[in-house]
Structure 1
Amino acid sequence: MNNKEKIFEKSIALFSEYGYDGVSIRKIASAVGIKESSIYNHYKSKESILDAILAYYINEMTKDEIPLNQASDNLDKSLEYFYKAGVDLYTSKLNDVKMMKITRIIFVETYHNEKIRKFVKTAIVDAAINGWIALFDLMKEKELIKRDCNSKQLAESFYYYGLYLLIEHVIINYPEDDEKFLKELARKSEIQMKLIYNSVKKRD
């Protein structure tokens, strides 16, 4: 790795262990093994390192998203196929030490870091809820679920459950085995999806 990549990697490790406010530019430089002033050859400030980390995270989480037309094809096969395709993609993103460390940084810092709080609201909550609203609307169009059910309420009921499990893992149960957790996340989320689906599915 070049120095910029080392700064990026060491910052993630340090922020996840000590918190964003608990890490100085000097501490990052020491971890990389360079002079403090050398950091500024690559990043103008500690905040710009954080910006790069957040940009990396959202890019990784969204770069292989399943488009709506493919989701439609997956639903035509079965609800189980549709769900498994989505959850396999999601858990594969988090099945990476770096991504899980960034996840922990994000949720730990949300309480007192305004930049991260806005990031969580727009990129992690609002964008995901809107995506699930579109998927539940698609299920209505295919007459898989009742047309009079509230897509936003369904989206929130499903997504917030999985989001809580993730927060529980990176904060409440920390440290906990990531691989074991992701298997449990997939299992519990599938149960939740089936509960929601069975409560609103269209009857013949």
Structure 2
Amino acid sequence: MKRCGWVGEDPIYIAYHDTEWGVPEYDSRALWEKLILDGFQAGLSWITILKKRDNFRRAFAGFDPNAIAGWGEPEIERLLADPGIIRHRGKIAATIGNAQAWQRIEAAQGFDRFLWDYVGGAPLQNRWATLAEVPAFTPLSEQISKDLKKAGFRFCGPTIVYAFMQAVGMVNDHVVTCPRHADLAQPG
């Protein structure tokens, strides 16, 4: 199998690439979790987040935004003392605010619909021959970032949003030589 070049030999990366990255995700809570994790990844490698993902899930109440939305300084202090996660006050505080923003969007239209409406409900099918062709961000990720920020989200710049869009299958950015590209290009 000729996977996308970013995968390398790490079994965690291989499993993530082969079973999760680029697979369309339509669950509102799961979408929120992935956006939060992409925000925590800013400035770090994605493998760092993958290796700590179970710790994040434990520390952040299974990424239940309804639970997290009510958190305050005691929870921030608890999380800052947790060596199993990325201990960044700004990102932790943003997660609480992002949970509150998620609640507003979820109540108004559903966070899943809010996001998937940008791509007409189906993944955009790119046909990149090499990793060098894959953009870091696009005009669409810039627009989604702007709209998320307007809704109250933080740590959701255009590059973070594009990485998120790739991860949750809003865009199929597997290179065309990767078997997953064809798998994910199939309707349904």
Q: TM-score, structure 2 length as denominator? A: 0.28
Q: Greater helix percent: which structure?
A: 1
Rg comparison, structure with higher value: 1
Q: Scaled by the length of structure 1, what TM-score is found?
A: 0.26
